[in-house]
Amino acid sequence: MKVILASDVDKLGQRGEVVTVADGYARNYLVPKGLALMTSKGSLRQAEQMRRAREQQERRRKSEAAAKVSLLGSQAVYISARAGEGGRLFGSVTKADVARAIEEQIGEAIDRQHVRLDDPIRSLGVHSVEIHLHEEVNALVNVEVIAYEGD
């Protein structure tokens, strides 16, 4: 049976797609939960409108992410941390620290989950950190870890 997805369904498809599923799955689960619509001439037009709206929204998100790339790459982000001899940090600089510093210094809110940092930063110096902004757009931010000059 062909149905039109009214919302994104894991392992099946995205909103607005026309998919073929088992009759029972459509009648007993997808349609009653409001996840899909039965196909008809009107609903096929509606599916086409949903697909166009999704594509337009995706293009807008991609262009916004591309605009953020130049903003994030243009400035270095400074994080001060307590360090011992040889430039080794007493603690470490994590994804959350990088996201917080970007928000405070550049003014761009970044979710810590989008910061691509395999291991926490444990030394002073300049580190290049990748920020995942969109499925197709990533930005590189130079994070400079400097020694804490406090009491």
Domain 75-147 in this protein, CATH class:
alpha beta
Q: Give the predicted TM-score (pTM) of the model.
A: 0.67
Per-residue pLDDT of the chain (151 residues; tens, 9 = 90+): 999 998 889 999 888 888 999 999 999 999 999 999 888 888 888 878 888 888 899 899 999 888 888 888 888 899 999 988 888 998 899 999 999 999 999 888 889 999 999 899 999 999 999 999 888 888 999 999 998 876 5
* pLDDT for the residue numbered 124: 93
From the list 73, 79, 71, the residue with the least C-alpha distance to 96 is: 79
4 by Cβ neighbours in 10 Å (0-12 / 13-18 / 19+) ranks as buried
115 by Cβ neighbours in 10 Å (0-12 / 13-18 / 19+) ranks as buried
* pLDDT for the residue numbered 150: 65
CB 14 within 8 A of CB 5: yes
Domain(s) of CATH 3.10.430.100: residues in the chain: 75-147
CB 147 within 8 A of CB 86: no
Domain(s) of CATH 3.40.5.10: residues in the chain: 2-61
* pLDDT for the residue numbered 21: 94
Q: Which CATH superfamily does the domain covering 2-61 fall into? A: Ribosomal protein L9, N-terminal domain (3.40.5.10)
> How far is the C-alpha of 150 from the C-alpha of 148, rounded, in Å?
6
SS (H, E, C) 30-65: HCCCCCEEECCHHHHHHHHHHHHHHHHHHHHHHHHH
- H helices of the chain, where? 23-25, 41-74, 95-105
